[in-house]
C-alpha cells in the first residue's frame, strides 16, 4: 500500500489492466515513471477479463467502457486509443466486401467476450454520435486481445 510522507511516495501498487494495454502502453512508460517515483513497486495484473478487484487485492484498474455499479471512476485524460475493425484479404476474397451495415447480415465476425458464457457484444461501430453494437454470426469467440488478433487471420 502507498505511504505518503514529506519526502517520497513509496510502496507497492497492484494495478489491473488489459494485457495489450500493459504490453503496448503502460510497460514501455514505466522507466520514466520509476525515475519520478523510485520508491514505488508496481505489480501489473494484465488480463483481458474482468476480475474481482477486492478478492485479487487490486488497488486500481485501468479499463475502458462503462463502469460497474458500485465502483468509482476518474478520467485519466490519456492519449486516445483508436479501435478499428479489420478484415483479412483472404476473407474478402471468399465473402466479398460489405458496402454498408445491412450487408453484414451475410458475414461472420470474430466475437469477443471478456468471460465465456456471456453473450458476445457483436460488431461495434461508431454511428457519428455514439458507439453501437450489431449482432452478427460468428464461428469463434475469444476472450483475449492476442487471441482476437490471431483469429482475425484465420476467420
CATH number, position 54 = 3.40.190.10
Beta bridge partners of 13: 42
pTM of the model: 0.59
CB 140 within 8 A of CB 110: yes
> DSSP state, 10?
E
pLDDT at 105: 87
CB 148 within 8 A of CB 142: yes
CB 25 within 8 A of CB 80: no
Same domain, 97 and 147: yes
pLDDT at 7: 58
- pLDDT, one tens digit per residue, over 75-124 is 666 666 677 778 888 888 988 999 999 999 889 888 887 766 777 778 88
pLDDT at 4: 57
The rounded distance, in Å, linking the Cα atoms of 94 and 97 is 9
* Domain, as residue range, for 107: 89-152
User: Cell triple for residue 54?
Assistant: 477486492
Same domain, 93 and 52: no
* Number of domains the chain is built from: 2
Confidence tier at 48 by pLDDT (50, 70, 90):
confident
Amino acid at each position: 500500500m502507498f505511504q505518503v510522507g514529506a519526502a517520497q511516495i513509496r510502496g507497492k501498487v497492484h494495478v489491473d489492466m488489459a494485457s495489450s494495454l500493459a504490453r503496448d502502453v503502460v510497460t514501455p512508460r514505466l522507466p520514466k515513471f520509476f525515475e519520478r517515483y523510485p520508491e514505488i513497486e508496481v505489480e501489473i495484473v494484465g488480463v483481458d477479463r474482468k476480475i474481482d478487484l477486492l478478492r485479487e487485492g487490486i488497488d486500481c484498474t485501468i479499463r475502458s467502457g462503462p463502469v460497474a455499479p458500485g465502483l468509482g471512476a476518474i478520467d485519466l485524460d490519456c492519449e486516445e486509443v483508436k479501435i478499428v475493425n479489420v478484415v483479412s484479404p483472404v476473407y474478402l476474397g471468399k465473402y466479398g466486401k460489405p458496402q454498408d451495415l445491412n450487408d453484414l447480415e451475410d458475414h461472420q465476425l470474430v466475437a469477443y467476450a471478456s468471460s465465456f458464457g456471456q453473450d458476445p457484444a457483436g460488431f461495434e461501430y461508431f454511428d457519428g454520435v455514439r458507439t453501437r453494437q450489431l449482432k452478427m454470426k460468428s464461428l469463434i469467440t475469444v476472450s483475449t486481445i492476442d487471441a482476437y488478433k490471431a483469429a482475425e487471420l484465420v476467420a
